C-alpha cells in the first residue's frame, strides 16, 4: 500500500480516512497528486440542510419577474401550428377523397366546410399554414447568419405574427369574395 502523507488541513484522524486516501492515491484518484498536475484542495462543505438561502428573493424565475420573450412565444406557436397542420392535412385528404368519390361524398364535405365549425377550422388551418411558412422563412434568414441581434430577433418574431394574421385575413377575404360575398 502506498504511503500517503496527510496534510494538516485535510482529515486529521481516523484510520478510515488514512486508508481511504491511500486507496485513492494507489488508484490515481488523488486530486492533489503531483503527477496529475492538479493542486486542488479539498473543500469541506456543510450539507444543504444547514445552508440558508436569502428569504427576500425567489428561488427560481417567478411569474412576477419573468418576462416571456416574443421569440420564445413564437417558437411555441411554430410548434403548435405544425401540430395543427397535421390535423389540417387530414381535412385536406378528406376533401381530395370526397372529390374523387363522387357528388354525394363531396356534398357531405361541402356541408361540413360550409358550417360555422368547418369555417373556423379552415380559418385556423389557413393561419397555421401561413404562420408555419413565415416561421420557416424566419429560420431560413437565421440560417444565413443574419437576424441574430436582439432587436432583429424581436422584429422578425413580431413580423411573423403580424404577417401571418394579416395574410390569413387577406386569404379569408379573397375566398369570401370568390364565393359570392354576402348571400
The DSSP element (H or E) to which 90 belongs, if any, is: helix 70-101
**Residue 4 corresponds to which cell in the numbers above?**
500517503
For 70-178, the fitting CATH number among 3.50.50.60, 1.10.260.40, 1.20.1070.10, 1.20.1300.10 is: 1.20.1300.10
Determine the pLDDT at residue 111: 95
Determine the pLDDT at residue 168: 97
Task: Look at the block and give the residue holding cell 491511500.
Answer: 22
Each domain of the chain, given as residue ranges in start order, spans 15-49, 70-178
Cα–Cα distance, 162 to 154 (Å, whole number):
12
Determine the pLDDT at residue 145: 93
Cα–Cα distance, 78 to 84 (Å, whole number):
10
Q: pLDDT 10s per residue in the chain (183 long)? A: 444 454 444 444 556 666 666 666 665 555 555 555 554 555 555 565 556 655 666 566 666 677 788 888 898 999 999 999 999 999 999 999 999 999 999 999 999 999 999 999 999 999 999 999 999 999 999 999 999 898 999 999 999 999 999 999 999 999 989 987 776
Cα–Cα distance, 6 to 18 (Å, whole number):
8
The predicted model scores a pTM of 0.62
Determine the pLDDT at residue 68: 81
Determine the pLDDT at residue 2: 43
Does residue 25 contact residue 33 with C-beta atoms inside 8 Å?
yes
DSSP states of 14-25 as a string? -HHHHHHHHHHH
Residue 149 is given by DSSP the state S
Determine the pLDDT at residue 69: 86
Amino acid at each position: 500500500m502506498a504511503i500517503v502523507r496527510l496534510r494538516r488541513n485535510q482529515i486529521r484522524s481516523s484510520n478510515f480516512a488514512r486508508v481511504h486516501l491511500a486507496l485513492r492515491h494507489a488508484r490515481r484518484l488523488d486530486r492533489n497528486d503531483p503527477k496529475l498536475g492538479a493542486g486542488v484542495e479539498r473543500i469541506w462543505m456543510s450539507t444543504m440542510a444547514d445552508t440558508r438561502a436569502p428569504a427576500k428573493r425567489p428561488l427560481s424565475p417567478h411569474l412576477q419577474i419573468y418576462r416571456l420573450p416574443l421569440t420564445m412565444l413564437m417558437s411555441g406557436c411554430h410548434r403548435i401550428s405544425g401540430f395543427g397542420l397535421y390535423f389540417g392535412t387530414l381535412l385536406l385528404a378528406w376533401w381530395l377523397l370526397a372529390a374523387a368519390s363522387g357528388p354525394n361524398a363531396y356534398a357531405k364535405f361541402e356541408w361540413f366546410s360550409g358550417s360555422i365549425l368547418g369555417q373556423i377550422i379552415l380559418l385556423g388551418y389557413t393561419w397555421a399554414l401561413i404562420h408555419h411558412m413565415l416561421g420557416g422563412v424566419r429560420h431560413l434568414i437565421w440560417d444565413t447568419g443574419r437576424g441574430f441581434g436582439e432587436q432583429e430577433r424581436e422584429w422578425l418574431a413580431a413580423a411573423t405574427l403580424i404577417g401571418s394574421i394579416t395574410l390569413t385575413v387577406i386569404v379569408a377575404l379573397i375566398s369570401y369574395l370568390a364565393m359570392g360575398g354576402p348571400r
